Structure 1
């Protein structure tokens, strides 16, 4: 660790004491673990340090040194001061908890490394006072529990005492059990030392017995060894049934061997878990790679779909453009022929009175004109029928384009939400697998976290199912609503077509129709003494054909309030010529028609009917149309009454 912590926030010197108390409280609550499984200690605030197996005094020295250092950050110092305080006040220095091998208690008295002792450790008590009961003919004495209490009064630490009885009653002897570990060995040696210091040990017992001297009052005791184990009496029989002969050296070697086996087993377990973690990390990387590849594949498919859709739209637009060009050419030809015939008809009428020959010729001309007019009327009628069919096709095309655009947007949104949920579900599944293989079954904290992750995974899957159901319902509802709105708008337009406009504010306007009045006024002002009506009609027909020509696109894109919009390009050559020759009013009429066509029928470039609010000069909404119908109905009711 460096001299200062770059990743931790620093605190002022005045706040160190408060920070120390907070960290101290966290240590007491168990938030920071300081003890390893083998009894050694670790510093929870030096996670990057390799040494994490301190003895108690070494960790205390480390915490004190860092807490008093002038080269450390204030927050780091506060944490180590709190750790030192916690070690002093809450964690006593337990003997034997270190990174070194646990030391054996020093054997007492006659115990040597090659002595054969009875294991588990056992002691022998003799000279227990007994009484003879004449009525039963047997001896009685202290029982096992009473003997244990007596030994504990003498500060000895037996685990259990077995008073020995035979057919004559109490034998005055007992066997004392001690713990099987080195603490039990120490207690057994203390037991033997206690009676040896009182001169009531094994040596004194047999010496007094051989010399015929009477024994002292009180217990004689010693640790069971080879001769006691092999003795043919009740004590030897108990020792052979419940124990075995071992040397201290054998037990120490066996314990060391078991410890090494345990360490090796733990090392193998750690290696296995590390291999499993590496395997799961590889699987997680593979899943991440597969997810990225899937994202790329979906992006390519989406791009290909967009390109195909764009090509289809372009093909349809080209078809409509070609159709409209053909239609405009036929209409312009018919209009010009009609105008020519009308002029010729007027000429013939003026020359009708000249002479009979001319009159007959005029009649013949009229007859031919009538035939031609009849043919032209039929052609015009056929043209109207074609216009109606074209209009229906264009409306169907527009509806189909809107439907395709909505489907694409909904599919894209659904795909994005579904991909996001799938990624979250895969990540949660990965975390769950990692927790299962990191020992989650034996760790309550990891088990709790696994439970939370499992619940969150279930919520995400339920959310994904709900999203799919909701999306299906919304698509169905949107399709029904859109069909109803389109049908209502068509019915309203058809109703207004059959009615006279009058003074009503709501009605139908043919968007893109060229206003002829500015042309008549401009031509009349320019040619007052000539046939200005014919010239105005020709000029109006010409510019009507220009407005419907898909090849002429006099627009430019400008940014208005942060949005791109198309407006008339005033520098267009045709507009300049029209403005210079006939003025701004005529030019304004053409601009209005072009803007309406661009807004309402940019692909077909022919007039289309639309619900219109004449008072405010804008398109009327269905709500306003409904209000208009309700108002008309109320007016009719009042007139009837």
Structure 2
């Protein structure tokens, strides 16, 4: 049964020793399981941890470490682990003798080899290699020997030549662990089985024949003269099996101790992380609760705002309907006023037109005939330039017809609103509208009929554009024919008074 931190409230530091008796009794009665079905040990108070496969020593160290843990540990955690330490020391002390022990491999089969000095890393020697090719293979090539002894898993092979007798030596390197030693031993035994070991080499080396000999390098090879001895001293060292075993034990013990310390640190870190996780969980729960409150408050406020907005919209719609009714009433009233105003305006315009017609008729009669002051149709073409040009090109009778035709044609052109041969320019900061001399129709007129007719047409264009640009028809204007300009009102009145006196004298 796993332990839950929520079963009881926490305790104070002063109650730890007293409280430990309760979980200790629960451990003894089996409420909390320490020993698993497969014989492994576990901490029932650290449920959920990945590390739940302890040795007796490691679990005791874990329990003692937590019991004396940092301030981040709760008092109840310390008390529970203190009870676990007591349970291990009192009730599971027999488990300490059953802790698994590392079994050292038996590196040699002969006891005398325990004190032999071997070259380490494990090294084999092959001698009496004849440099001639055998079955197409170059015996001096290291790849050949790696392949030949591949079942012993050599790491590399180095060859040394003897130019005097055309033979070679080979150094075979094996892995530096116990597996490498076993492979080196098997390498040596293979030569012993063929009676080509170092013992036979020492006997036969004066007349060795063509067979190769091999063995595992030892002290005599290490201190020997020549390239092999130099190579062995450069790349290896002498060690006994006992030395290697003892060094391995020390290394293992060091590694185990380091791992045990690291495990304790990891466990303590895990406990701290668990504590922080619990804090974060509680904080998250509070945040979620606060979020729910805020969400509820937001929902209520939203409903309130929607209700107020709905009431506001209804009030606006009511006011809008009232305004629409008032607007319709005002619109009808304005329509009636507009109709009445239009009627009165039409009457006023008709009376005004009659008055204007009458005035144009006290003036036309008074200013008619050959006078200096009179009425001129602004925009009306002067026929004289047309007649003068046509007389130069045609007979007298035909010239009159051509001149009349041209005047009629161009007078109609002047009335067309779509023809507007003007352009906008800026002169001394002032915007002016002038004749566009590049207009296609004007250019054609100038080319066909000359400058005199061209000037007459452009003059009428300017007058229409000045006096009636929208209507494009001729209008009357008081004109001073003597000076070729618009007559002033003073000039007109003086002229009329003068004529009236003349008429009176004649009468």
Query: What TM-score do the two structures reach when normalised by structure 2?
Result: 0.39
TM-score calculated relative to the size of structure 1: 0.31
Larger Rg: 2
Higher helix share: 1
Name the structure, 1 or 2, with higher relative contact order (CA <8 Å, separation 6+): 2
